[in-house]
Amino acid sequence: MPAPVRHFTAKARDAKFWNRYTETLPRAELDALHLHKLEQLVDYVYAYSPFYRRRFDDIGLKPRHIKSIADFKRLVPLTDKQDFIQLQQERPPYGDTLTLPLEMVQHHVETSGSTGLPLAVPYSAYDTERVGESWTYGFWAHGIRPGDAMYFAFNWGNFAGFWSCYFGARRMGCRVISGGGADSQGHIRNILRLKPKILISTPTFALRLAQVAREMGADIRGSSIRYTYHAGEPGPFALPAMKQQIDEAWGADSGELLGIAEIEAFAPGCPHRDGVHVNEMNVFSWSMDPKTGQESAEGEIGENIITSYTYSAQPLLNYRSHDLVRRVGRCGCGRTWEKFQGVVLGRTDFMVTVRGTNVYQTAVENLLGAFDGVSPFYQLVLDHVDGNDRMTVEFEPEANIPEADWPALARLVGEHIHKQLHVRLDVKPVKPHGLPRYDLKTKRIIDNRPKELRRMLDR
């Protein structure tokens, strides 16, 4: 019998990039490629999408009007998730946004619904290949290689985010181990028995599994896990304190990818572990001031507006992500793709102004995560009182903190936040296991503000 073929030589496995050519294209060539793709995409949706043709005709926009990237940003109308959810409710399952016949949809997935009703996402066979490719860039930069075994610690369901990760694992040639419907103890037993190299989960679920392992007396630091990789919520590169917690708990190196379920996993983690790069082969994005609509300059915080080249079935153009990001110049890692320093800094609908100070979710989370005595389980409660936003920090103290010491700990946390952010927030300790636990996206923000106010702030 002939020896098995080794698809990657030792030299190839040590390569710095998954695809050096695409990841290091000069900016001028990237911009020229974007313009070509955007022109083709506008032609495509005008010809095949009743939704976009109606939108364009309403404002007199024709594909020939797009002659530059500036034209695309300025002329193509912004879209939002609610536009598509409304159409899907009126004409299920996909409304009139499909650009392919229904029989060409080969895979149905959905968003998590964490910000409202779930949005249905149709994949063609082509789409499944493209969404998987984005994960491979981040896997490779993090040290994951073909043949490594990945353990998926969640119930698959219709959640789009980790289906795309599965397509990425297949694209890279990794071995997939599904946790299926196992409970937390079952996941730990599976990991110890099957010895995967990589844990795939949301970051907070990785911390929850670590806690369960300690309660079981299981040594996960000595397990086969060498890397953990996360998406679905702010993770290790957005929250350095969380990275430290995960790395210490698992004895591994945690990584992150930024994705939007209805767009794709569009921003693989930087090997410097301090942000993510926009996959400019699959998407085009720019930032705007969410209040004025003007384009944000490099280094300024703005809302990420994104266009996907990936989905042939349901393209999204100039799509409002509501994610607040800071774009920075060329990164020292060698990639020429745009970089989001600190990943997502907050949301347009979750940024609050408390006594004149803008407070971002990730800023508070980073301070909590680095504070001794505060467990990884906390939430931020938003209210609107007497014409002002108010944020209350609810947290579970670590198990070794006596209940009599909780008020003093809460005061110290509040003083620490005030010193760092120059604003006073209400801080409230909650008994252990008093806050909800989640297997997929953890709901950190509880927004009790009136719905009409939230809609007004989000315009």
Put simply, whether the predicted model's pTM sits higher than 0.75 gets the answer yes
For the stretch 360-383, pLDDT in tens is 777 788 788 778 889 888 888 888
Q: Is the peptide bond before 93 cis (omega within 30 degrees of 0)?
A: yes
Residue 360 lies in a domain: yes
| pLDDT at residue 349 tops 80 | no
For the stretch 12-27, pLDDT in tens is 888 999 999 999 999 9
Amino acid identity of residue 170, one-letter, is: R
**What's the rounded mean pLDDT across residues 177-205?**
94
* Number of structural domains in the chain: 2
Extract the tokens encoding 446: 């509880």
Quote the Cα angle for 439-442-448, to 5°: 140
**Whole-angstrom distance, CA of residue 424 vs CA of residue 176:** 47
Residues 57 and 161 in one domain: yes
Whether the CB-CB separation of 297 and 304 falls below 8 Å is answered with no
Do the strands 253-260 and 264-268 form a parallel or antiparallel pair, or are they unpaired?
antiparallel
Whether the CB-CB separation of 16 and 334 falls below 8 Å is answered with yes
Residue 116 lies in a domain: yes
Residue 1 lies in a domain: no
Extract the tokens encoding 105: 């949809």
Residues 94 and 208 in one domain: yes
Phi, psi torsion values for 292, nearest 5 degrees: -100, -20
Report the chain's mean pLDDT, rounded to a whole number: 89
Residue 62 lies in a domain: yes
Residues 90 and 232 in one domain: yes
Identify the burial level of 207 via C-beta atoms within 10 angstroms of its C-beta, where 0-12 means exposed, 13-18 middle and 19 or more buried.
buried
CATH classification of the domain holding 410: 3.30.300.30
Half-sphere exposure (Cβ direction) of 328: Cα atoms closer than 13 Å = 16
Domain boundary pick from 239, 270, 301: 270
Residues 72 and 219 in one domain: yes
Torsion angle of the four alpha carbons 211, 214, 219, 223, in this order, in degrees rounded to the nearest 10: -10
Extract the tokens encoding 411: 């005061």
For the stretch 381-426, pLDDT in tens is 888 777 677 889 999 999 889 999 999 999 999 998 888 887 888 9
Residue 311 lies in a domain: no
> Who contacts 216 (Cβ-Cβ below 8 Å, separation ≥6)?
185, 188
Domain boundary pick from 245, 270, 295: 270
Identify the burial level of 386 via C-beta atoms within 10 angstroms of its C-beta, where 0-12 means exposed, 13-18 middle and 19 or more buried.
exposed
Residue 281 lies in a domain: no
Helix 160-172 with 125-142: angle, nearest 10 deg:
70
Residues 150 and 27 in one domain: yes
Extract the tokens encoding 230: 């996360």
CATH classification of the domain holding 200: 3.40.50.12780
**Whole-angstrom distance, CA of residue 449 vs CA of residue 389:** 8
**Whole-angstrom distance, CA of residue 157 vs CA of residue 135:** 20
**What's the rounded mean pLDDT across residues 61-76?**
97
In the structure, what pLDDT confidence band is assigned to residue 192 with cuts at 50, 70 and 90? very high
Residues 80 and 229 in one domain: yes
pLDDT on residue 210: 94
Residues 402 and 264 in one domain: no
Token pair 């530059």 in the structure block, residue: 68
For the stretch 127-180, pLDDT in tens is 888 889 989 999 999 999 999 999 999 877 888 878 999 999 999 999 999 998
Sign of the dihedral through C-alpha 353, 440, 257, 219: positive
Residues 135 and 252 in one domain: yes
Residues 356 and 235 in one domain: no
Residue 319 lies in a domain: no
**What's the rounded mean pLDDT across residues 274-297?**
94
Residue 295 lies in a domain: no
Token pair 């004409």 in the structure block, residue: 91
From 28-37, 193-202, 218-227, 391-400, the region with the lowest mean pLDDT: 391-400
Residues 380 and 242 in one domain: no
Give the domain extent around 59.
Answer: 21-270
Domain boundary pick from 270, 289, 307: 270
**Distance from chain centroid for Cα 122:** 19
